[in-house]
Amino acid sequence: MTDPRSGVPDRRTGRGLRVPPPVGVRLTTRQRLGATGGIAGIVMLLGLLTYGGIASIRSARANVIATHRSIEATQSVLQDITNAETGQRGFLLTADERYLQPYNSALNRLAADTALLRGFVGTDALQTRQLDSLSGRIGVKLAELAQTITLMRTKGADAARSVVDSDGGQHAMDDIRGLLRSIAARQQNLLDQRIAESDRYYLIVEVIVVGGTISAVVIALMLNTLLTRFANAQADAARRLDAQNVELSDSNHKLAEQTVELELQNQQLQDQAVELESQQLHLQEQASELEMQSEELSSTVEELQQQTVMAEEARAVAEEATKRAEEANRAKSLFLTTMSHELRTPLNAIGGYVDLLALEIRGPLVDMQREDLRRIKKSGQHLLSLINDILNLAKIESGQLDLNIREVPLASVFENVDTLVASQFNAKGISYVYPRCDPTLHVRADSDKLQQILLNVLSNACKFTDEGGLVTVECDADGVSESSNPESVAITIRDTGRGIAQDKLEKIFEPFVQIDRHLTGVSQQGVGLGLAISRDLARSMSGDLVAESVAGVGTTFVLTIPRANGVSAQRSSESARGSTDPISTAP
């Protein structure tokens, strides 16, 4: 017998024992598929996902840029209309054609800006309807501006002002602002959504690239480990076969069969080695492709950063345009202040010369001349009051209003106001009732400005109350009503005039607005600044002026002024009855 471990022939029989050939390690079908196609499939899937993410980022970036431009277009349209109105107002005030330059420039830009805005809105049905409404309101506003300019050139300032006072242009401008705000708000919402969407796509691409790269590296390492083990096992098998061939070279012919099998196994190992080399080359190509995709992603990130910088620059330009508009408004207020001062000087001189003539210093006058002087004096005073109103409004808008806030006895204010308005009520045949206030009741206010507010409101009540009507003034000093504030004094002025419609009630406090102007006599018409100035003055003194009205019944104005410190808010009922007895001025 031979030793099985050495394969030496048995000396007694002369025959060698067959040693079984070593068996090599083989890959399973699943392992072969994973080695040949797994990494390729992962790389292909990673490439497709990365390409889709980059395409989504580019689309989101284009949407963000378009939304920014649409918001800028809304601001440009509003700026064009504001410039056109500024030019028209300057021309109406000065009758100088040079002031129409902003108007003409705005007309040239407005059509282009409106078309640009419509192009950015696209197929949004809601905003398309809003743009259609906006175009209609812009047409109304431009028609009103063109009509006033034509009337100024042909018929004069009064005809042009009558169109301005009709409120048609103001309504159109309010609608335009509202529509532009709505469009800009919707575009801003879209911008926020699109920026969030762009950030989300960017994060997805980062996750895909990082996760895919890690997955590819892990799988490549696993495959490399598997193939290395397989190659080592095959090498060990080959070494064992070589040893067996040397040991069994002297064996019988049966060993030839083992030699053939070994040759077949050797050929299989060679084929597997070639296959491993091919897979190694394929892995190298995939690694190069991943590096190219990473470089492309870095370039895309740089482009997104540049777009962000451009968006910030566009926002800075919009803020600068807003600042220039505010500076133009301050320049307008300064211009009105200067012109008002320049007009008051000759008007005061005219009034002085009229007084000199009325005193007959230049010689005796006949009755017709005295009547002419009276009319000149009255017209000058009316014009001077209008200029004073414009001057006060300009001071308020420009922040140059000076207030002398101190403790003011309310009783003395009512006495001064009664002295100034009683003759107006008596002349028109209107009953006027005002309270006798407690002499100890003081408010924190500017005495002259408080008196101006009461005079404006009472003058309006006299103007719009027919003969035989009633105007009453009440002072809520005890805080007994539900709406009263113990820290303030409420002064209520009621009239039995024709009243104001509810939809027009808030507009009476807007500058240059006079409701139902056609129902007011020419001698009583103004420029619609009295109530606007009164409310601004009240709010400047930490108070307020509000109005309630019923058409055909009358109007009620409530003026609230802060109570002076140190004056008690409560009084005994007997003192209250004795101190608030009204004083009636009958015609």
pLDDT at 453: 92
Phi, psi of 547 (to 5 degrees): -140, 145
Average pLDDT score over the chain:
78
Q: What is the pLDDT of residues 362-404, one digit of tens each?
A: 788 888 888 888 788 777 766 766 676 676 666 666 666 778 8
pLDDT at 398: 61
pLDDT band, residue 577 (cuts 50/70/90): very low
Q: What is the pLDDT of residues 63-117, one digit of tens each?
A: 788 788 778 888 888 888 888 888 888 888 888 888 888 888 888 888 888 888 8
Mean pLDDT of 184-206: 84
| Helical pair 125-154 and 39-94, crossing angle rounded to 10 deg | 20
pLDDT at 252: 61
Q: How far apart are the C-alpha atoms of 414 and 450, rounded to whole Å?
A: 10
Q: pLDDT above 70 covers what percent of the chain?
A: 79
Q: Which residue has the higher pLDDT, 572 or 191?
A: 191
Top mean pLDDT of 299-303, 334-338, 411-415, 569-573 is at 411-415
Q: What is the pLDDT of residues 114-136, one digit of tens each?
A: 888 887 776 778 878 888 888 88
Top mean pLDDT of 44-48, 334-338, 341-345, 398-402 is at 44-48
Neighbours of 137 (CB within 10 A): 21
What is the signed CA dihedral for 575, 579, 581, 586, rounded to 10 degrees?
170
pLDDT band, residue 337 (cuts 50/70/90): low
Contacts of 543 (CB under 8 A, 6+ apart): 445, 488, 559, 560, 561, 562
Top mean pLDDT of 160-174, 193-207, 326-340 is at 193-207
DSSP three-state, residue 213: helix
Q: What is the pLDDT of residues 543-575, one digit of tens each?
A: 999 999 888 889 999 999 999 875 443 443 333
CA-nearest of 138, 92, 89 to 113 is 138
DSSP 8-state symbol, 34: I
Looking at residue 225, its amino acid is T
* Predicted TM-score of the model (pTM): 0.40
